[in-house]
């Protein structure tokens, strides 16, 4: 086969907008129909190959853009934006790439139709799309080149959103710390008012220090300096944790209880159990619990009457009351006596009347020893009521100290040590007072105990 050297013989078209490539076509004077068909197939394949290269180039560009967008999102700590974007690309990138692809292919066909004799014409649909895209682009383009890239714009927007979120978060943190500091201030003043002046005066100075710090932090927060407000609020909370009266009170109780109880009952568990029961019980049962723990008199005249029981229960109460058990040992088999004596011991307010009626029978030579036996008996009867009530309210309430019996046994040992007893009294009275002021006393004491060294 001989090839012609006329313009129809050989034509080389180098057309690829945005890429370095070549589109070529060779025309030879066909000697027969078969050659013409073969040349047409070569022409078609060449065009398909060039278009495929163009598409691959744009896909490579999208992949490169996706990698840059991911790097930008990582740098700005905005990975959520990356995963929310279509195909992991900046918003509008896919549309822009498709438009650019249509323009490039259109220009390729236009160049090919001009450079190559009998070359393919640009399809009308493609020509219409090209005009629409160019018109839209130049019609919506901002004058003066004021626009910025999509990646830069989205990065700027996400940075602004992040800064706003950080500022809001700092404001919330500062507000939360100030609320805690305000609570600590209120508690400090409450406890200072409960304690003797020589002790309460020290805590009033701490309260003044906390108050001044709270005011400074509030001023900083109001001026928009959230970071300094947080620093100041944190400084105040450290003062509350280290010098605050409640932390001091709980720390002292933990030490004194530990020295009395050893390892039998964990001091922290006992404190939590005592506080939990004090907060849980209400009304007359709260008063009975307080009287039971602090060994206050169970006087029916003061509204602390105990429920009457039958002879069998009276027998059990006598057995668990060492003083009366020894005094009335000879009467424990007399149900009538047990019933009458139990009713009198639980309902009669006048100790002298009871002493006159039962003193000689029990061999009591003084009113003091009889009164000690009477209060011991009433505490035992109170245990009979309170144990059932607490178990019904929450079986796990006294769990940190090992249950009701373990708590009351520990309380009995604490009453034998003056320092531990003073701390017990302060703990119960403070818990009661803070509860009346709607303070989250149980949560605060739990946090204090968690900070205590083990």
pLDDT above 60: residue 370? yes
pLDDT above 70: residue 18? no
Q: What is the pLDDT of residue 292?
A: 94
Q: What's the mean pLDDT when you consider all of the chain?
A: 80
pLDDT, one tens digit per residue, over 70-80 is 787 777 666 76
Which burial class, exposed, middle or buried, applies to 377 when counting CB atoms under 10 A from its CB (0-12, 13-18, 19+)? buried
Q: What is the pLDDT of residue 6?
A: 34
State the average pLDDT over residues 327-351: 92
pLDDT, one tens digit per residue, over 399-453 is 999 999 999 999 999 999 999 999 999 999 999 999 998 888 899 899 889 887 7
Per the model's pLDDT, the better-predicted residue between 435 and 169 turns out to be 435
User: In DSSP terms, which residues pair with 11 in a beta bridge?
Assistant: 25
Per the model's pLDDT, the better-predicted residue between 161 and 375 turns out to be 375
Question: Coil, strand, or helix at residue 152?
Answer: helix
The DSSP line for 216-258 is HHHHHHHTT-HHHHHHHHHHHHHHHHHH-HHHHHHHHHHHHHH
Closest CA to 304 of 368, 351, 347: 347
Q: What is the pLDDT of residue 115?
A: 59
Dist CA 423 CA 410 (whole Å): 14
Cβ atoms within 10 Å of 431's Cβ, excluding its own: 24
pLDDT above 60: residue 29? no
Per the model's pLDDT, the better-predicted residue between 17 and 70 turns out to be 70
Q: What is the pLDDT of residue 146?
A: 45
Asked if 256 contacts 419 with a C-beta cutoff of 8 angstroms, the reply is yes
Per the model's pLDDT, the better-predicted residue between 302 and 310 turns out to be 310
pLDDT above 60: residue 17? no
Asked if 217 contacts 178 with a C-beta cutoff of 8 angstroms, the reply is yes
> 121: which DSSP letter?
P
Q: What is the pTM of this model?
A: 0.60
pLDDT, one tens digit per residue, over 43-97 is 678 778 877 888 888 788 878 877 887 787 777 666 766 776 767 777 667 767 7
Q: Per-residue confidence at 41, pLDDT binned at 50, 70, 90?
A: confident
Tokens of 187: 């508690």
- Measured CA to CA in angstroms, residue 234 lies from 178, 220, 447 at distances of 9, 13, 16
pLDDT, one tens digit per residue, over 176-211 is 888 888 888 888 888 888 877 777 788 888 888 888
Q: What is the pLDDT of residue 178?
A: 86
Domains of the chain by residue range: 11-147, 168-243, 246-451
Helix ranges (H only) for 76-149 are: 79-84, 93-115, 124-140
Closest CA to 94 of 122, 127, 129, 69: 69
Dist CA 37 CA 53 (whole Å): 24
Only one residue has tokens 């560009």, namely 61
């Amino acid at each position: 086969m001989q090839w012609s050297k006329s313009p129809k013989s050989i034509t080389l078209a180098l057309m690829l907008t945005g890429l370095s490539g070549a589109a070529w076509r060779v025309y030879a004077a066909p000697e027969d129909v078969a050659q013409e068909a073969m040349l047409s197939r070569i022409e078609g394949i060449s065009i398909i190959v060039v278009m495929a290269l163009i598409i691959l180039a744009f896909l490579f560009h999208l992949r490169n853009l996706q990698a840059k967008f991911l790097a930008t999102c990582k740098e700005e700590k905005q990975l959520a934006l990356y995963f929310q974007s279509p195909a992991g690309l900046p918003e509008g990138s896919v549309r822009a790439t498709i438009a650019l692809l249509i323009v490039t292919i259109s220009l390729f066909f236009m160049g090919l139709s001009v450079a190559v004799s009998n070359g393919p014409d640009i399809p009308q649909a493609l020509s219409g799309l090209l005009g629409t895209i160019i018109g839209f682009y130049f019609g919506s383009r901002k004058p003066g080149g004021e626009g910025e890239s999509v990646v830069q714009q989205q990065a700027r927007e996400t940075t602004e959103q992040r800064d706003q979120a950080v500022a809001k978060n700092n404001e919330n943190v500062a507000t939360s710390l100030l609320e805690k500091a305000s609570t600590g201030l209120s508690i400090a003043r409450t406890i200072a008012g409960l304690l003797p002046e020589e002790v309460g005066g020290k805590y009033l100075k701490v309260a003044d220090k906390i108050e001044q710090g709270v005011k400074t932090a509030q001023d900083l927060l109001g001026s928009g300096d959230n970071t300094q407000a947080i620093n100041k609020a944190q400084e105040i909370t450290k003062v509350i944790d280290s010098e605050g009266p409640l932390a001091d009170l709980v720390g002292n109780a933990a030490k004194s209880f530990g020295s009395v109880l050893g390892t039998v009952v964990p001091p922290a568990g006992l404190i939590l159990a005592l506080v939990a029961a004090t907060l849980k019980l209400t009304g007359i049962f709260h008063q009975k619990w307080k009287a039971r723990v602090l060994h206050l008199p169970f006087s029916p005249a003061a509204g602390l009457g105990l429920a009457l029981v039958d002879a069998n229960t009276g027998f059990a109460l006598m057995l668990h009351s060492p003083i009366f058990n020894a005094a009335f040992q000879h009467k424990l088999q007399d149900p009538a006596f047990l019933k009458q004596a139990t009713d009198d011991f639980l309902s009669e307010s006048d100790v002298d009347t009871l002493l006159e009626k039962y003193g000689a029978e029990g061999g009591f030579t003084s009113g003091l020893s009889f009164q000690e036996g009477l209060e011991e008996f009433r505490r035992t009867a109170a245990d009979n009521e309170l144990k059932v009530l607490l178990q019904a309210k929450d079986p796990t309430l006294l769990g940190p100290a090992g249950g009701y019996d373990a708590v009351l046994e520990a309380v009995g040992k604490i009453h034998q040590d003056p320092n531990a007893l003073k701390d017990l009294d302060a703990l119960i009275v403070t818990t009661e007072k803070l509860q009346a002021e709607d303070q989250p006393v149980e949560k605060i004491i739990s946090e204090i105990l968690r900070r205590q060294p083990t």
